[in-house]
Structure 1
Amino acid sequence: MIADFVAQFAKLIASNPDDIRVEVKEGDEVTEIVLYANQADIGKLIGKSGKMIGAIKTVISGCKAKDGLSYRINVEPLL
């Protein structure tokens, strides 16, 4: 569910929405969400002063309050 939200949000921002990939790595204490994007879109996804990725993190923190899990999000270039 959260991975789907992150993917849809990123596709709205990215110039190359077909290149967006989301991978979820579940750990014991933290679930890591890795957002893979075209190199040209990474700056857009992070945003000026990190505002765009901060907005995504804010929404995810609401999910943390609901289900009690901790999430971490990383933006990586598509290889």
Structure 2
Amino acid sequence: MKELIESIVTALVDHPEDVEVTSKEEENRITYYLSVNKEDMGKVIGKQGRVAKAIRTVVYAAGSSQQKKIYLEISE
């Protein structure tokens, strides 16, 4: 899942070397934390959050086979 997020986001940003994905696994959920360069935040979020919503939709669909709920947090 981490590789999927990285491959989607690195194609969108100007500074792909600053893309970092970490994960935190809990009892019934997995949270992925996406960190990008400050200059690339607008590209990852998109107008009215459309790009971020699309990324989350793909990640949630890919993780639907798992028994745990998946969350994606985007930060600087």
Q: Same fold (TM over 0.5)?
A: yes
1:4-48 deviation line (CA, Å, top 9, x unaligned): 110111100001011100001111122110001000111110111
Residue identity opposite 1:34 in structure 2 = Y
Distance 1:5 1:21 in 2: 12
The structure-2 alpha-carbon separation of the partners of 1:69 and 1:63, relative to structure 1 and needing over 3 Å to count, comes to farther
Distance 1:40 1:73 in 2: 20
Distance 1:69 1:19 in 2: 28
What RMSD, in angstroms, separates the aligned Cα atoms of the two structures? 1.1
Identical pairs, percent: 24
Distance 1:42 1:30 in 2: 25
Q: How does 1:28-47 map to 2 (within 5 A)?
A: 28-47=27-46
Residue identity opposite 2:11 in structure 1 = L
Residue 72 (structure 2) aligns with: 73
Residue 60 of structure 2 contacts residue 71 of structure 2 at CA under 8 Å; is this kept in 1? Answer: no
Deviation at 1:68, TM superposition (A): 2.6
TM-score (norm 1): 0.88
From the two aligned structures, give the one with the greater helix fraction. Answer: 1
Count of matched residue positions in the alignment of Structure 1 and Structure 2: 76
Unpaired stretches in structure 2, ≥5 consecutive residues: none
Runs of 4+ in 1 over 4 A off after TM superposition: none
